[in-house]
């Protein structure tokens, strides 16, 4: 199943209605990057948000996700 890359927070929220799959996670990641760029955020800004302490991910998971965001940022147009 192909998902369009979200371009708004509302479209990101709508993804919650879909079953979780690798493709859905990749689409969500691409959407986060697309939205960040549309808001003129830098990669460093986005990484700071990912690395911010929260109750969802532990430090190791946030670091891994930050590295994934960096790789995706470089490959997405």
Give the tens place of pLDDT for each residue, 4-60. 999 999 999 999 999 999 999 999 999 999 999 999 999 999 999 999 988 889 999
DSSP annotation of 40 = T
In angstroms, the CA 24 to CA 2 distance is 9
Backbone angles phi, psi at 13, to 5 degrees: -65, -35
Q: pTM of the full predicted structure?
A: 0.87
Give the tens place of pLDDT for each residue, 47-64. 999 999 888 899 999 999
Domain boundaries, given as residue ranges, for the chain? 9-75
Phi-psi map region of 24: left, alpha, beta (phi>0 left; psi -120 to 50 alpha): alpha
């Amino acid at each position: 199943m192909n998902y369009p890359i979200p371009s708004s927070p509302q479209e990101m929220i709508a993804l919650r209605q879909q079953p979780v799959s690798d493709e859905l996670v990749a689409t969500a990641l691409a959407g986060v990057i697309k939205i960040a760029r549309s808001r003129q955020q830098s990669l460093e800004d986005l990484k700071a948000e990912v690395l911010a302490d929260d109750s969802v991910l532990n430090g190791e998971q946030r670091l891994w996700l930050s590295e994934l965001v960096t790789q995706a940022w470089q490959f997405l147009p």
